[in-house]
């Protein structure tokens, strides 16, 4: 699948069960008659089928899952596999979201295993990277995102790069209302671009870099216009149909 920029993705986290999902799309779809660029939602796994049903006939709006296990099947209570997600119609999976890393103890090794599983299932990975406030204040933002990229680089070969996107999500900006300025975002995106270039050369040019962390209708346009920002990963503001439609249509 070719990712057309800008990529605007809504991560619903633990919000919107099946009935709310149906209601959301009844409001949202008329507000976005045709998506330009790539629009994708990451509903909770239990709401995935409702989202898919609501999106019948709307091939311009894609779906993904928030998390997968790297095993294909077996005794792993509570988990879903990348293969199952792909079979259900997911085009994407988030890997390494900061809530997975910091609330659920996901390690760099886990993100590498999950990245491989998602690619092997034929989906596109959105690999989330980002530093905590403490790491930023210690001047380590670049080192942290570089380490998080390198954790997966060993399991990728050049044919995988077409199905990889990076989301820079500074932990201090997620759900806090404290957005990185366009200049802050661009600075780290520029560094990520240089790291990708160093690791894979020209073939990495297609890898989009999204920004995430307190994106709202009133700051989305300036973030999207910042150098090296190819899309947005939106949490809280993606739960409201009007807000997210405004972000997607650039009408914000």
Positions touching ligand PGA (CB under 6 A) are 11, 169, 174-175, 212-215, 233-236
Which residues, including other chains, have CB under 8 Å from residue 59's CB and lie 6 or more apart? none
For ligand PGA, which is the closer residue by CB, 83 or 248? 248
Least CB distance to ligand PGA at residue 203 (A): 27
215 vs 223, beta carbon nearer ligand PGA: 215
CB of 24 to ligand PGA, least distance (A): 16
Give me 151's structure tokens.
């954790």
Q: Which of 106, 131, 146, 169 is catalytic?
A: 169
Residue 169: active-site member? yes
DSSP-H helix ranges across the chain = 18-31, 48-54, 82-88, 98-103, 108-120, 133-137, 141-153, 182-200, 217-225, 241-249
Return the DSSP state at 78: T
Which of 16, 97, 106, 146 is labelled catalytic?
Answer: 97
Query: Shortest distance, CB of residue 92 to ligand PGA, whole angstroms?
Result: 13
The gap between the terminal CA atoms of the chain, to the nearest Å, is 28
Active-site residue flag, 189: no
Alpha carbon distance 205, 238 (integer Å): 28
CB of 57 to ligand PGA, least distance (A): 27
Residue nearest to ligand PGA (CB): 235
Active site residues: 97, 169
């Amino acid at each position: 699948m070719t990712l057309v920029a800008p990529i605007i993705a809504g991560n619903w986290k633990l919000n919107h069960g099946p009935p709310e999902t149906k209601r959301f799309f009844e409001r949202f779809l008329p507000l976005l008659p045709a998506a330009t660029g790539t629009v994708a939602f990451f509903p909770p796994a239990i709401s995935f089928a409702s989202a898919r049903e609501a999106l019948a006939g709307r091939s311009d709006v894609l779906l993904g899952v928030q998390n997968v296990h790297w095993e294909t099947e077996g005794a792993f209570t509570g988990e879903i596999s990348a293969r199952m997600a792909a079979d259900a119609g997911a085009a994407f999976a988030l890997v390494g979201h900061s809530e997975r890393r910091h609330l659920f103890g996901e390690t760099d090794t886990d993100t590498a295993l999950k990245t491989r599983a998602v690619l092997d299932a034929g989906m596109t990975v959105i690999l989330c990277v980002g530093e905590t406030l403490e790491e930023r204040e210690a001047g380590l933002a670049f080192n942290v995102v570089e380490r998080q990229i390198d954790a997966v680089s060993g399991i990728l070969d050049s044919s995988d790069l077409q199905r990889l996107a990076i989301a820079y999500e500074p932990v201090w900006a997620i759900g806090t209302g404290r957005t990185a300025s366009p200049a802050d975002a661009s600075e780290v995106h520029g560094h990520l671009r240089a790291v990708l270039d160093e690791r894979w050369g020209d073939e990495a040019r297609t890898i989009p870099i999204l920004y995430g962390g307190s994106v709202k209708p009133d700051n989305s346009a300036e973030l999207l216009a910042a150098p090296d920002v190819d899309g947005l990963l939106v949490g809280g503001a993606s739960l409201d149909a009007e807000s997210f439609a405004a972000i997607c249509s650039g009408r914000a």
